[in-house]
Chains A and B, each alone.
Chain A
Amino acid sequence: MSFGKFLSKRILQGVIVVWGVITGTFALRAASPGDPVNLIVDPAASPELRERIREELGLNEPLYVQYADYLGGILTGDFGYSYQSGQDVLPLVVQRLPATLELAVAATVVAIVIAIPLGVVSATRRNQPADYGATLFSLVGISTPNFWLGIMLILVLAVQFGIFPTGQRPVGFAEAMGTFVTTLHADELLTWVRHITLPAIALGTYFTALITRLTRSGMVDELGKPYVTATEAKGLPAVLIRYKHVLRNTMIPIITVLGLQLGTLIGGAVITETVFAWPGLGLRLINAIYTLDWPLIQGIIIVIGVGFVLINIVVDSLYAYLNPRVIDE
């Protein structure tokens, strides 16, 4: 199979998954009890007004008609309007996307910066204190719920020591970076870093622990292979062997996991954003769920789903490009 066919197949699969997400969220909305009109108008509103709104929303139409309208709307970029704010859903979702992406990327950076050196040290110093420490860190990191960790970080680093703020996002990365580039003043960029640090740690800790484990086990496997013995016999320095040869071979599965986990982090940001009042998609999703703002819930889930599918396609394609054997597997 050619790379082009492989890519087409992946895109087709992605379209089917997105259609499934759209249909699934619509089904959830249809199956959920309650009258959406109660979410739009005051409880004391007259029956006439309620009926008028029901008609305007098409809620009196058969379910298949509502589904067709919804699907048609999405294809033209119309996700409906939020019950709570009365605004179009798509801008409400897009508006929050940068904050969530920033958080997911920052959590990934935290994971890479900490996990890879830790995994290497752990693998190369097996059964030594550094290995035990890294293994313990991995165990604790994987076992710790991120909302609990978030609250503990606020308690210790924000409230007690005042090193970081408790949350919020007073400035976005693009804006802060823009100011820095145009004025060379780093105040806004530092503000952004201070505010994102705790949420990124809270969100990225599980991921860090996971990558530490992957790096360690990958390194241990690679270190036992004959080519390592051969390079050692050649007299190459140990650092060069570990970081140039062994780590490079270990990185292939780690990069795959990194890519896939980025999508998971976007979904996983829901709780972290709530704890830190970080104004991303997750916080908006939670608010939408509290108020049963179904059009907004659907819009956010679809966007997260599309993002996840796109990341998967990109990762698969890169993987196939780098290692063409997987195309035929």
Chain B
Amino acid sequence: MLQLLGTGVASAGITATAGCLGGDGDDEDEVEEFVVTQGEFIENTDPNDHNATPYYNVLDQVYEPLFNVTDDGEIEERVVTDWEHPEDGVVELTIRDDVVFHEGEELVASDVAYTINRQIDEDVGIVSDQVAGMTAIEGAEADGDTTVLVEHSAAESLAEFQLANFARAVNEEWMEGQDQPVDGEMNGTGPYQLEEYESGVQAVYTRFDDYWGDEPAFETVRFNAAAESSSRVGGLQADESDLVVNVPPTDVETVDTEDGIEVRNVTSFRNIFLVMKNEVEPFDSQEFRQALNYAVDNEGIIDSVLGGFGAPMTQPIPEGLFGYNPELDPYEQDQELAEELIEESGYAGEEITLQSMEGRYLNDAEVAQTAADQIDQLGNVSCDFETVPFDQISDAAGEGPDFEEIPFFLIGWGNPTGDSDYGLSPWFTSGGGQFNFRDEELEERLIESQQEDDEDEREALLQGINADLREEAPWVFLHLEESIYGVRDDLEWEPRQDESIYIDEMGL
């Protein structure tokens, strides 16, 4: 209801005046404060106690990543200037010698090693959510002041992807002196340092004068939160925010036609799909699973339910990730073929129920209901739709392929690492937290891909797995979510597919 009314707020088409930044906006030296409003906000200031993009966006300005990952997924130097593989299972990182923490200590290799160990070992500080993204990393130790040796159990490229996406340096001595998890204080090496923090509300940063890299454009940056989308859009219109996250599709036209602000969007790496547990009838039939893919009109859902925002999926992995197979096409809706496949499956006349949460992903329940209606239109199968709390879906996803209570459900999966493995292994290997599709041969191939050191070979293996998964149809492939931002129109910034926001890359 609030979102519906929020649409009314934004649809009023009210003219915005000048930007909320201080100064005239032409001279970057004049800029006083840049305000970013998200729907979610950090619950504490510990850089290792979370694994969600909105949280990284708040913290990354202070706790800079060790590597740069370009929007194309390329790994570049940053705090780490060089990385080599002196022997199997070891990455040697060389770090800059001119990096200092905001409290004045120099960054040394032992800090980086401590950070990595803190992420993967629950006995070092906290139980870090980030362990899920660093499955290939086994431990780290310092070798002198600027060299870190990281042990890993997988292919070199996979280990690099994981380090590049999850490692940010903390100061060991400082961190050990804090209550765990840390809250209220930050001590990173990034371009901004913490000035003011209010738990769950806002973090205000100022430029860090001793930052080793280029000076960022804005003197002060404020991250705050407005859970209600109409409040975020209203804040942008009233010049209280310079960048707001997740503009609802219904407000896009209003924001885009207003003076001084505009919408910028990009298709993200967040994949939305319908899981079918293949140990539960009738989803144990490949024909039946394929039939459901042919029954659903992906493009139609994107156009009608998502306002045209989204991209149809062709395989379990989004385009742009290592291992994506560019040769594959989406399933096109073909209800006759779907009915034939259902006959072939032996499950004609079956009654199934699609379950979905509501409000977690963009128009999730509406997407699921439309898909269920399209399946229900088939002459030889009926499909009901039901909304359930997210945690029930989350539980079902973690209960394995034999769990009969919720065998068919909508869920989303972000792919922040730039590598197919994070999108595949949790779902298709029996040790993965989201294991719902039992296929031992596929699992062996995935494990093989993790061990393959030759990058080309590994890519070919992953592309083959993705092609076969399209045919196996473990999911009804739906779409990639769109990231929709509202920004002041003179902002030099393009949104990234990985949903990251780095203020030091912006300007006016």
| Residues on the B chain within 8 Å of A44, using CB | 132-133, 135, 426, 432-434
Whether A166 contacts B238 by the Cβ 8 Å rule is yes
| Residues on the B chain within 8 Å of A85, using CB | 43-44, 49, 181, 183, 199-200
Question: Could you give, for residues 7-19 of chain B, a 1 whenever the CB lies within 8 Å of some chain A CB and a 0 otherwise?
Answer: 0110010100100
Whether A159 contacts B237 by the Cβ 8 Å rule is yes
Whether B131 contacts A279 by the Cβ 8 Å rule is no
Whether B394 contacts A46 by the Cβ 8 Å rule is no
Whether B14 contacts A160 by the Cβ 8 Å rule is yes
Q: Known contacts A155-B9, A159-B14; is A286 also within 8 Å of B227 by CB?
A: yes
Which residues does A use to contact B, with CB under 8 Å? 33-35, 38-47, 49, 52-53, 82, 84-87, 92, 95, 147-148, 151, 154-155, 158-160, 162, 165-169, 271, 274-277, 279, 283-284, 286-287, 290, 292
| Distance in angstroms between the alpha carbons of A169 and B240 in the assembled complex | 13
- How many residues in B have their beta carbons less than 8 Å from beta carbons of A? 58
Closest-by-CB residue of B relative to A147 is B2
Q: Known contacts A160-B14, A292-B391; is A148 also within 8 Å of B5 by CB?
A: yes
How many A-B residue pairs lie within 8 Å, measured between CB atoms? 158
Task: For the complex of A and B, list the 3 residue pairs with the smallest distance between their C-beta atoms, beginning with the closest.
Answer: A34-B391, A85-B43, A42-B132
Q: Which of B183, B231, B398 contacts A87 (CB 8 A)?
A: B183
Task: Report the stretch among B122-130, B265-273, B279-287, B499-507 that lies at the interface.
Answer: B122-130
| Distance in angstroms between the alpha carbons of A82 and B44 in the assembled complex | 11
Interchain nearest-CB distance for A274 vs B (Å): 5
Indicate if B234 sits at the interface (CB-CB under 8 A).
yes
| Distance in angstroms between the alpha carbons of A1 and B235 in the assembled complex | 57
Indicate if B51 sits at the interface (CB-CB under 8 A).
yes
Question: Could you give, for residues 397-431 of chain B, a 1 whenever the CB lies within 8 Å of some chain A CB and a 0 otherwise?
Answer: 11000000000000000000000000000100001
Q: Which of A41, A43, A95, A162 contacts B426 (CB 8 A)?
A: A43
Whether A45 contacts B199 by the Cβ 8 Å rule is no
Which residues does B use to contact A, with CB under 8 Å? 1-2, 5-6, 8-9, 12, 14, 17, 43-44, 46, 49, 51, 122, 126-127, 129-133, 135, 180-181, 183, 198-202, 224-228, 230-231, 234-235, 237-240, 359, 389-392, 394-395, 397-398, 426, 431-434
Closest-by-CB residue of B relative to A83 is B43
| Distance in angstroms between the alpha carbons of A85 and B398 in the assembled complex | 22
| Residues on the B chain within 8 Å of A154, using CB | 9, 230-231, 234, 238
Whether A277 contacts B9 by the Cβ 8 Å rule is no
| Residues on the B chain within 8 Å of A276, using CB | 231
| Residues on the A chain within 8 Å of B391, using CB | 33-35, 38-39, 292
Whether B238 contacts A42 by the Cβ 8 Å rule is no
| Distance in angstroms between the alpha carbons of A95 and B395 in the assembled complex | 32
| Distance in angstroms between the alpha carbons of A290 and B202 in the assembled complex | 19
Which of A35, A40, A52 lies at the interface centre, i.e. has the most chain B CB atoms within 10 A of its CB?
Answer: A35
| Distance in angstroms between the alpha carbons of A287 and B17 in the assembled complex | 32
Interchain nearest-CB distance for A149 vs B (Å): 10
Q: Known contacts A43-B434, A44-B132; is A86 also within 8 Å of B227 by CB?
A: no
Whether A165 contacts B122 by the Cβ 8 Å rule is no
| Residues on the A chain within 8 Å of B226, using CB | 167-168, 277
Interchain nearest-CB distance for A172 vs B (Å): 10
Interchain nearest-CB distance for A7 vs B (Å): 37
| Distance in angstroms between the alpha carbons of A47 and B394 in the assembled complex | 14
| Residues on the A chain within 8 Å of B130, using CB | 42
Whether B129 contacts A41 by the Cβ 8 Å rule is yes
| Distance in angstroms between the alpha carbons of A169 and B398 in the assembled complex | 40
Q: Known contacts A34-B394, A86-B181, A151-B8; is A43 also within 8 Å of B17 by CB?
A: no
Whether B9 contacts A42 by the Cβ 8 Å rule is no
| Residues on the A chain within 8 Å of B398, using CB | 35, 38, 43
| Residues on the A chain within 8 Å of B6, using CB | 151
| Residues on the B chain within 8 Å of A39, using CB | 391
| Distance in angstroms between the alpha carbons of A155 and B51 in the assembled complex | 35
Which of B202, B238, B239, B431 lies at the interface centre, i.e. has the most chain A CB atoms within 10 A of its CB?
Answer: B238
Whether B17 contacts A162 by the Cβ 8 Å rule is yes
> Contacts A49-B122, A86-B181 given; 17 further ones with Cβ under 8 A?
A38-B391, A43-B433, A45-B132, A85-B44, A85-B49, A86-B43, A87-B43, A147-B1, A151-B230, A159-B237, A165-B238, A166-B240, A168-B202, A169-B201, A275-B230, A275-B231, A287-B227
Closest-by-CB residue of A relative to B42 is A85
Q: Which of B46, B200, B235, B394 contacts A279 (CB 8 A)?
A: B200
Interchain nearest-CB distance for B432 vs A (Å): 6
Q: Which of A38, A92, A151, A162 contacts B199 (CB 8 A)?
A: A92
Interchain nearest-CB distance for A293 vs B (Å): 9
